[in-house]
Amino acid sequence: MGYIIALAGKGGTGKTTIAALIVRALKEKKLGSILAIDADPNSNLGDVLGVKQADNIGAIIDNISAAPEQLPAGMTKERFIQHQVQAAIQEEEGFDLLSMGKPEGPGCYCYVNNVLRGLMIKLINDYDYIIVDNEAGLEHLSRRTCRCADILVVVSDATSVGLKSAKKIIELTKALKFEFKKSRLLVNRFNENIQKERIKETGLEYLGSLPVDSGVEQLSLLGKSVFDLKSDAPILKSLNLLGEQIWKRN
């Protein structure tokens, strides 16, 4: 069974970049097969990984809704969608990518989440590691896009707002009875002046911090991927030091 690493956090904390860096670290360490799932409707994970995304679940739903006659005889709508989604998984060197996207046409967005949940159950057995980059904020949690994981990494910056959001996220996961074997707080762009009491107030076990890295900011400005980041980059060094706590199987 695959090891699921889910990431959550408010917008602007660098959550997607960290998800991509975890994919890079796992690939370079050759720890096994990797599936990166972009569960954020804004679909930025592919860009950060340097992948030109083709199809996504949202577009598949729209196409089928617009032309239901394309359903093969004797195949249910759900089964056809699952087949199309399987075909939409992009195979890259060292990892695969599946993008959720967002339907543009009329219809219930919850249906897309249901399809993704059902498909994830099947995919768990096909990969050694599944990294899920969830939508920023709390809405995706109430929709239960990602119900379970081996580890939930809640990403925050060093601001009071970021840490309060982290606290709300973990409180909501407990209220909704999510099945996370462990949950950890990761503070990105760490500020040495941050009050340790604020970290404790989140109610999350503190995983550690990642430094401000000008290399990451430069990549973002140039639209390059995390694979263009130098191997001695400060953020990569820090992530690898924390890595055992993130991706080590118990």
CATH of 3-247, one of 3.40.50.300, 3.40.50.2300, 3.30.460.80, 3.60.110.10: 3.40.50.300
Asked if residues 15 and 192 have their Cβ atoms less than 8 Å apart, the reply is no
Tens digit of each residue's pLDDT (9 = 90 or more) over 84-100: 888 888 999 999 998 87
Task: Check residue 234 and give its pLDDT.
Answer: 95
Task: Check residue 137 and give its pLDDT.
Answer: 58
Task: Check residue 105 and give its pLDDT.
Answer: 61
Residue 44 pLDDT > 70: yes
In 3D, which of 63, 172, 79 has the Cα closest to residue 119?
Answer: 79
User: What sign has the CA pseudo-torsion 224, 229, 233, 239?
Assistant: positive
Task: Check residue 208 and give its pLDDT.
Answer: 93
DSSP annotation of 68? G
Average pLDDT over residues 123-152: 75
More confident: 176 or 205: 205
| Burial (CB count within 10 angstroms: exposed 0-12, middle 13-18, buried 19+), residue 244 | exposed
Task: Check residue 207 and give its pLDDT.
Answer: 95
Mean pLDDT of the chain: 84
What the block records as the tokens of 55 is: 């199809």
- Provide φ and ψ at 242, rounded to 5°: -90, -10
Of 89-98, 171-180, 234-243, the range with the lowest mean pLDDT is: 171-180
Q: Of 68-77, 78-87, 138-147, 219-228, which one has max mean pLDDT?
A: 219-228
